[in-house]
Amino acid sequence: MTRTAWVFPGQGSQAVGMGADIFDHPAAKQKLAQAEQILGWSVPEVCQSEDDKVSNTLYTQPCLYVVEAILVDLMQERGHQPNLVAGHSLGEYVALYTANVFDFESGLHLVKRRSELMSHASDGMMAALIGFDREQLEQQIQQTSDVVLANDNNAGQVVISGTPEAVEAVLSQVKAKRAVKLNVSGAFHSPLMADAAVEFQPVLESVAFQPAQVPVLSNVDPSPATDAAVLKERLQQQMTGSVRWREISLRLPEEGIDRVIEVGPGKVLTGLIKRTCPTLTLETVGSLADLPN
């Protein structure tokens, strides 16, 4: 019997026009109304705004959460259920929603506050490296203060995060096929987000977590968990901790998973997983047309 994992993308997967065909679906109407009440703005309007408003962190995170949560609802309505869930950074919130750890509105309140705190974070920098010597990179990070490995996506693709000086220092010392400075407001997934994490804690504490209905692989700890307190603790650590996506990918076959569905816009996660676990069957569900029967 096929065992399936659902994975949920985070920031970087958004695109103008995403979700267009699901917004008119009757099942989406209630969620969109709830979202507008919580956010004070319309998710469909932002997603379809030609000025790429959807790529501003303040809007990106809530829009991805809402679009992905609606896709989850539509999949579950058709009788589909995952055996395991995981999400990349912001995507972890959708994974927890899917596993019934919290309801849609509670998750959106968390995501709204997270996006506000992250959009106000400054004095930091992030850069992606593709095709590099991992040993050389790890050594350089150890020797440089104020920089960390923020996203370990797969063997050939990572993101470093820290102060601009520290990130520049590492980039100048490590040979890579490609190094790209990311257009973000702060040093996400690094200790420089400690103040934001402290501000986020009371909001997180105010939301009741339930035991997960299916195991969740968290960004900061890729071992399966269903315990509500453990999942909340891991989410608290996520803002300053690394996204260990390479280890999450490796864990999937270990847990008997043979099929992975990326639920959300784009194909970023299936692209990353393909390089780490080429034997897995990979699918994407980003629109109504992609929904399995």
Q: Which of 89, 115, 190, 249 is catalytic?
A: 89
The pairing of beta strand 147-154 with beta strand 176-181: unpaired
Residues 36 and 177 in one domain: no
State the Cα–Cα distance between residues 269 and 284, nearest whole angstrom.
9
Residues 129 and 205 in one domain: no
Residues 209 and 274 in one domain: yes
Mean pLDDT for 278-293 is: 94
Q: Is the pLDDT assigned to residue 122 strictly greater than 90?
A: no
Q: Which of 115, 189, 190, 218 is catalytic?
A: 189
Question: Would you say the C-alpha torsion 188, 244, 291, 28 has a positive or negative sign?
Answer: negative
The pairing of beta strand 216-217 with beta strand 259-263: unpaired
Question: The pTM is what?
Answer: 0.96
pLDDT band at 67 (very low <50, low <70, confident <90, very high): very high
Question: Which of 85, 176, 90 is CA-nearest to residue 129?
Answer: 176
Residues 57 and 199 in one domain: yes
Mean pLDDT for 75-102 is: 97
Mean pLDDT for 56-71 is: 96
Please, are residues 201 and 235 in contact by the beta-carbon 8 Å criterion?
no
Residues 117 and 131 in one domain: no
Token pair belonging to 66: 């809402």
Catalytic annotation present for 189 = yes
Per-residue pLDDT, 262: 98
Element spanning 83, H or E: none
Residue ending a domain, among 181, 206, 227, is 181
Catalytic annotation present for 25 = no
Residue range(s) defining the domain that contains residue 161: 125-181
State the Cα–Cα distance between residues 189 and 153, nearest whole angstrom.
13
Query: What are residue 98's phi and psi, to 5 degrees?
Result: -60, -35
